Structure 1
Amino acid sequence: MNTGDGPFGPVVNGTQIVFFEYRPNKTAGNTFVVLFGLASLAHLLRMVRLRAWFCIPLLLGGISETFGYHGRAIASDNPVKTGPFIMQNLLILAGAPFLAATIYMVLGRVVVALEAQRHSILNVRWMTKIYVFIDIACIFSQFIGAAMPASGEPDAFVKARIILIAGLVTQLAALSIFIATCWQIHRRLSRDPPISVAAYPRISWERYFWVIEAMTVLMIIRSVVRAVEYLQGEHGFVISHEIFIYLFDAVPMFLVMLALLFWHPGWLIRRIRGYEKV
């Protein structure tokens, strides 16, 4: 068993397999277990209240993040154990695509609620399906890449790194195209508002676009940093400093959940329907 400050990991056939370059911080892990756990519970209650079933991926993402950081917390006690390493690696990586899928669906719901489909180059429903399909592929790549190191073989780590980088780059490309699409709809909607916006000026529709765009930027930053982490590989600067996973993954993903809690698209849809009944 490794002792000291790291690196930590099992020895397989005389070769040191590195799980962590440092001993994971237990306090930081438990802090985000609480934060993501509370956010997930709040979203569950709001989803049921608003009957916003399209937010199920958001809930799954929050649960993944919660148990992922629980894995980091328990890995602090025994950083050479395979189970906690795979748990935190798999769930934290998979949590972000679930949240991204929610953002894609939120844009579709907002555009349909505002009757602004004509402002989108692609059919809104097909656009959402395409982005979600890409995101599902990214989720599977994260699962496969995160689970492969369980074998403990050095070759598995190399293959896992390639798969994870491919998934992260694909997600980054999808997010970049998505934010450009969102901004285009936002701009066209501002110049030529649909009947629902013109008839009900008190509906604060624009803030939802700002929130979607801000969340997408956070997702892009997270994907860039994680891609750099795996490109640098073992002993790289990013992977060797725990602050990066909290500052550029945990915090942005928590802010995404928080933003959707305060500016839930279900409220916009309910307000529009309320105005239409008057």
Structure 2
Amino acid sequence: MVNQHEITLGCHPLIPGYHTEYGYVPTQAAGIAFLVLFGLSFVLHTVQFCWKRTWWCSVFAIGCITELIGWGGRTWSSSCPYNGTAFLMQISTLIIAPVFFTAGIYILLGRFIQIFGRESSILTPKWYLWIFVTCDVVSLVVQAIGGGMASSAVGGNGSTAVGTHIMVAGIIFQLVSITVFVFFAVDFVRRTIRYRMLQSLTRSVVPLLVAMVISLLCIYARSIYRTIELLQGWSGYLITHEKYFIGLDGAMMVVAVGIFNVLHPGWLLPDSGRASTIKSEESSDGTEMHVADRT
């Protein structure tokens, strides 16, 4: 007879007919690949934000660390598929890692608003941080609590219902907050295009704006996947098939954070002096008008 307590504490190989908490054995090659990718992104982000002194970009590096812990847990599980600590590592970190990436996007949009002017956005940069970072923190805490409760229940052969419901509530709350932010981001893009604010900054800002949109879409797609996955339950189709996790979580997060290694804000965002000069030149040429004049 299998002693569940012993195999969840040790490193027991797969037992035929005895299912793992994942519903499968995580692929070691995938775990190593994502460890390398997030590790490389972490190193690059650390060098980049230190070099350019864009300290707020450290949130991308912190997110990479969180991903590394999670994928470390999954790689560990590939050899020890029943180990409860490895399972707890991955479920408690990979569910919350995107919070750090969205925080960076919130700050980046605030920088764009400072460059293009207050008329480019409904909200001020300060309100973006207060509202959406607060929502992310709430979501992070709720998901972490739910993940801990669910994984403990799985390890102790108890009911995962309460923990799962808490996790679902947290990720749905995150999905709603991201949806609201997407609305504001789309409105920002619409305003900058409509009022031709990009003309003087096309070479630097437009690629970075595209990077922000791509990153946000990846995080949004991942949030939709995670919501559906958890709604299906621990024995659902999505959660028990690794290919969806690799493609709709791991790959999405690599793109979401990696694109800022290629198009880093420290290299592409103009400094405040340059932005002010451009805005002054636009005003003297009559290309920048107040919202009241445009409506």
Q: Kindly provide the amino acid, as one letter, of the partner of residue 29 in structure 1.
A: G
Provide closer, same or farther for how the CA distance between residues 103 and 201 of structure 1 changes in structure 2, counting only shifts above 3 A. Answer: closer
1:8-23 correspondence runs (5 A): 8=20, 19-23=21-25
- Are 1:99 and 2:101 matched, yes or no? yes
- Are 1:161 and 2:131 matched, yes or no? no
Scaled by the length of structure 2, what TM-score is found?
A: 0.83
The CA deviation at 1:202 is 5.1
- Contact kept, 8 Å, 1:6 with 1:23, in 2: the verdict is no
Secondary structure of 1:165's aligned partner: helix
User: How many residues are paired up?
Assistant: 264
Name the counterpart of 2:176. 173
Q: Which has the larger radius of gyration?
A: 2
Identity across aligned pairs (percent)? 27
Deviation per CA, 1:113-169, whole angstroms, max 9, x where unpaired?
x23222211222112221111111111122112212225345552111111111111
Counterparts of 1:192 and 1:231 in 2: how far apart (Å)? 42
Secondary structure of 1:47's aligned partner: helix
Name the counterpart of 1:7. 19
Counterparts of 2:202 and 2:120 in 1: how far apart (Å)? 21
Counterparts of 2:223 and 2:255 in 1: how far apart (Å)? 15
Counterparts of 2:168 and 2:240 in 1: how far apart (Å)? 18
Name the counterpart of 1:128. 129
The CA deviation at 1:50 is 1.2
Name the counterpart of 2:253. 253
Provide closer, same or farther for how the CA distance between residues 32 and 271 of structure 1 changes in structure 2, counting only shifts above 3 A. Answer: same
Deviation per CA, 1:205-234, whole angstroms, max 9, x where unpaired?
223222222211111110111111111112
Counterparts of 1:5 and 1:54 in 2: how far apart (Å)? 49
The CA deviation at 1:34 is 0.8
The CA deviation at 1:5 is 6.9
Unpaired segments ≥5 residues, structure 1: 9-18
Scaled by the length of structure 1, what TM-score is found?
A: 0.87
Deviation per CA, 1:163-214, whole angstroms, max 9, x where unpaired?
11111111111111111211111111122245xx55x455432232222222
1:176-195 correspondence runs (5 A): 176-194=179-197
Counterparts of 2:117 and 2:275 in 1: how far apart (Å)? 17
- Contact kept, 8 Å, 1:24 with 1:72, in 2: the verdict is yes
Provide closer, same or farther for how the CA distance between residues 119 and 139 of structure 1 changes in structure 2, counting only shifts above 3 A. Answer: same
Runs of 4+ in 1 over 6 A off after TM superposition: none
Q: Kindly provide the amino acid, as one letter, of the partner of residue 247 in structure 2.
A: L
Unpaired segments ≥5 residues, structure 2: 1-6, 8-13, 279-295
Q: Kindly provide the amino acid, as one letter, of the partner of residue 233 in structure 1.
A: G
